[in-house]
Amino acid sequence: MTHFVKYGVQASAILFASVLVSACNDANDPGLEYAPQMYESIPYEPLKQYDANTVNPTGINMRTPAIATVPRGKLDYFNHIGKDSVGIAERTLRNPLAYSRQNLEEGKVLYTRVCQHCHGEQGNGDGPVGVKFKGVPNYSAGAYATMNDAHIYHVIQWGKGRMMPHGSIVNPEERWKIAMYVRVLQKGKGPDGMSELVQDELTPTQKTNPENQEPYGQAQAGKGSETPGQGGTEARNGTAE
């Protein structure tokens, strides 16, 4: 009886070894899976595919998004103003964010991460990369000192000259916040100029839009006539977005 058990164990070991060897001959063979339900998700996952999906018409887990849908967090990620149309951008786009201290502080953080290596802490174009490659502008000099938010936003998105596009790095809200902080640096006072643009610390009668912020050459949605009864009804046929 002892010999029978011994031979039985040996035969089982040989059979198991032969199964392992035969299963590993093909390099494309995934082999045997032990308890696959431990790591294969029962619910459908868009980036995994084990078997044909019997629910979706294509048989795969991923589906084509419905027409006109926008991925979460990507609303208005790209506007339809071409990269060579910065003039149109500065006339038609309008910053939807308030000049609050929080927004300006966030703009400062984003500027430090994304822009400072070229444009410098003070916006003088003397960042480590700017010193190496030259040609980086000083925000407080010449025409750069009067660029409005929309102009800066457009250049961040599409780039200009030797500056590469940064639209894939910062989303629209972040671009506006960076543009707002660049407006601070336009004053030539570095970060110390921030208090001059903060509006949430002013009284309502003191709050005004920074210069060059109103879009022009286009009707503003929802804005009524300044002379009601003479110039027609509310302007509803245009958009400033």
More confident residue, 126 or 205: 126
Structural domains in the chain, CATH included, are 86-206 (1.10.760.10)
Cβ–Cβ < 8 Å for 66, 124? no
The pLDDT of 154-181, averaged and rounded, is: 92
Q: What CA–CA distance (Å, rounded) separates 92 from 239?
A: 9
Side-chain-side CA neighbours of residue 135 (13 Å): 5
The pLDDT of 191-211, averaged and rounded, is: 68
* pLDDT at 117 > cutoff 90: yes
Q: Would you place residue 100 in the very low, low, confident or very high pLDDT band (cuts 50, 70, 90)?
A: very high
More confident residue, 92 or 229: 92
Closest by CA position to 170, among listed 128, 93, 112, 211 = 112
pLDDT at 233: 42
* pLDDT at 201 > cutoff 70: no
The whole-model pTM stands at 0.58
